[in-house]
Structure 1
């Protein structure tokens, strides 16, 4: 394809304009006067760079990292299987039924949310657990905001434990060829300690637990049955749950003990789940987040076009000349936190990845970009899912409510990363 703009300087200027517009849309979550979300903006950006001839359709197809896309798709199918089988709701109800006081219940919810998010999706965990936790708090007379914000924070933190816990970790693991077991060994300590920090803040710090009007004192711990009327709560299906858990367990073993490409193993697992006499394939794939896949594809194309201008390489070289090397832990730490809260964690990771090398850089970026999602209410899709479901249940959570917990917890947990990874 020959460029529409034959002047190289003009072509590069057009690419930069498209790139800036796309990432402005990432910051704002849309563009003025247009009904676009981040996925729509990324798609239009990709169309624009192809349309002006900055990149051919063949090249665009090559720069979209297929292993990452396949891994994402496959685990979306797995999460859909577990959701339709009622697994997430059943586990949360079981936790809700435990005869625990406020302190123990908070710990159980944080632990379960963090553990499930490490294997499945933090977004899905918040989607499934929020209605149950909300009803539990209302029935027991507990202030719901600390429990709900704690649930979302725990899901974000827990998802950083593995290279399959969230989209940005899948991307980092795929493009940097990180070993699943090695990453797990390095991530478990900061994730475990950070979940403990979250629990301690919510239990012991008064500022995290403001008085909630209309909430009665908590009754004595007893077994609680939580009644739910939500349309998105699925009945427990033992066989479908066992089927999903067997596939998830098999994939974990493959990732830990074999060299079989993760995306191929995950795709085979998704294929096994789609062969069902109970769930129609169209129903299962209706729960696949196609918009997230479009976001990834669009940003791959836009970022590649921008890289072809050489401006990103020049900027990194200029920083290196000043002694700031992105592959070094401290600068990467700062860049990861800043960009993740500016454009959100997936676009931030896609911007930083081409300039990183080594296992340590990958681990640092995965942990920092994920933990940074707890800083602001809009920093993580999991946060927004929790707030939306809470509002539908009659509990409004604004940015101040979230910041009262999210801000200190994020700063403390980033400190945990710095300590455990010995950042300098």
Structure 2
């Protein structure tokens, strides 16, 4: 999934930027865009796709067939952004010494297996308690350096927005249900409340699945709020919002313009 990809790749991107002298903000932003548009292809690539896939009862291949032409366009556009960006002169620096904590590795690996088992058997509270206790005793810095703001943001994004959707419909708001209007509206709302809640809001009006999927997926490439993957990338890399938006907004504007042009043909 796109969020997991950011947790894995952004630390690597940051280290490579520091070692080579390349523009960290540019590398991080383009990586976040790549994760957002790349994950759009399959129904299990990101949370909004999973919601749409489940809601409409689509087959795996039907979902991929619908998204494939647009994902290829988004990736081609991303490649153009990379090629047309100013050339960077890189200078490889010496690698810093790396300390390997065998005890942390063993404990973390064991906790991962144990937490999966406890989660599958419905003992989530015990899983959390054991994890906190292990790191409290072994390495408190793991807990002290934990990004609690990101966790709270994650919790907010996955709040059930069904009630919000129902309130809009009761108030007489007419949400678009197909075509370019749906793409624009869902992409725009994603910029304000993130693309997962935006998906839930639009599901209440029973829209066509493909324009909705296109809108919320391309909507993840705009503002930092557009996708949780963006927030993860910015928080881990400590990139300024100004630097992030310098690249992401430009990509979003061009990609949404292409989408509307294609859908109106």
Shorter-chain TM-score: which interval? 0.7 to 0.9
Which sections of structure 2, spanning at least 5 residues, go unmatched? 120-126, 129-150
Q: Confirm or deny that 1:311 pairs with 2:153.
A: no
Shift of 1:219: 3.8
| Matching residue of 1:353 | 203
Indicate conservation of the 8 Å contact 1:371/1:414, yes or no: yes
- Out of 332, 335, 353, the residue aligned to residue 185 of structure 2 is 335
Q: TM-score, normalised by structure 1?
A: 0.47
Shift of 1:380: 1.7
| Matching residue of 2:227 | 380
Task: Give matches, 1:152-191, under 5 Å.
Answer: 152-191=32-71
CA separation of 1:295 and 1:406: change in aligned 2, threshold 3 A? closer
> Alpha carbon RMSD of aligned pairs, Å?
3.6
Shift of 1:127: 0.9
1:186-211 CA distances to partner (integer Å, 9 max, x unpaired)? 212211221221122133134xx7x8
Tell me, in whole angstroms, the C-alpha distance in 2 between the residues paired with 1:278 and 1:147.
Answer: 30
- Out of 247, 255, 258, the residue aligned to residue 405 of structure 1 is 247
- The alignment partner of 1:279 has SS state of helix
Tell me, in whole angstroms, the C-alpha distance in 2 between the residues paired with 1:385 and 1:347.
Answer: 17
Count of aligned pairs:
232
CA separation of 1:177 and 1:293: change in aligned 2, threshold 3 A? farther
CA separation of 1:304 and 1:156: change in aligned 2, threshold 3 A? closer
Which sections of structure 1, spanning at least 5 residues, go unmatched? 1-120, 212-216, 241-275, 320-325, 392-396
- The alignment partner of 2:113 has SS state of coil
Shift of 1:385: 1.1
Indicate conservation of the 8 Å contact 1:135/1:226, yes or no: no
Indicate conservation of the 8 Å contact 2:77/2:255, yes or no: yes
Indicate conservation of the 8 Å contact 1:132/1:228, yes or no: no
Q: TM-score, normalised by structure 2?
A: 0.73
Indicate conservation of the 8 Å contact 1:130/1:148, yes or no: yes
Shift of 1:315: 2.9
Tell me, in whole angstroms, the C-alpha distance in 1 between the residues paired with 2:74 and 2:115.
Answer: 38
Indicate conservation of the 8 Å contact 2:187/2:216, yes or no: yes
CA separation of 1:230 and 1:423: change in aligned 2, threshold 3 A? farther
- Out of 150, 154, 161, the residue aligned to residue 299 of structure 1 is 161
Shift of 1:291: 8.3
Q: Confirm or deny that 1:128 pairs with 2:19.
A: no
Indicate conservation of the 8 Å contact 2:52/2:209, yes or no: yes
Indicate conservation of the 8 Å contact 1:135/1:228, yes or no: no
Indicate conservation of the 8 Å contact 1:141/1:219, yes or no: yes
Shift of 1:337: 1.8
Indicate conservation of the 8 Å contact 2:186/2:212, yes or no: yes
Task: Give matches, 1:69-108, under 5 Å.
Answer: none
| Matching residue of 1:323 | none
Task: Give matches, 1:10-409, under 5 Å.
Answer: 121-206=1-86, 217-219=89-91, 279-281=113-115, 285=119, 296=158, 298-300=160-162, 302-303=163-164, 306=167, 311-312=170-171, 314-316=172-174, 326-357=176-207, 361-391=208-238, 397-409=239-251
Shift of 1:400: 1.8
Tell me, in whole angstroms, the C-alpha distance in 2 between the residues paired with 1:294 and 1:158.
Answer: 24
Tell me, in whole angstroms, the C-alpha distance in 2 between the residues paired with 1:415 and 1:230.
Answer: 48
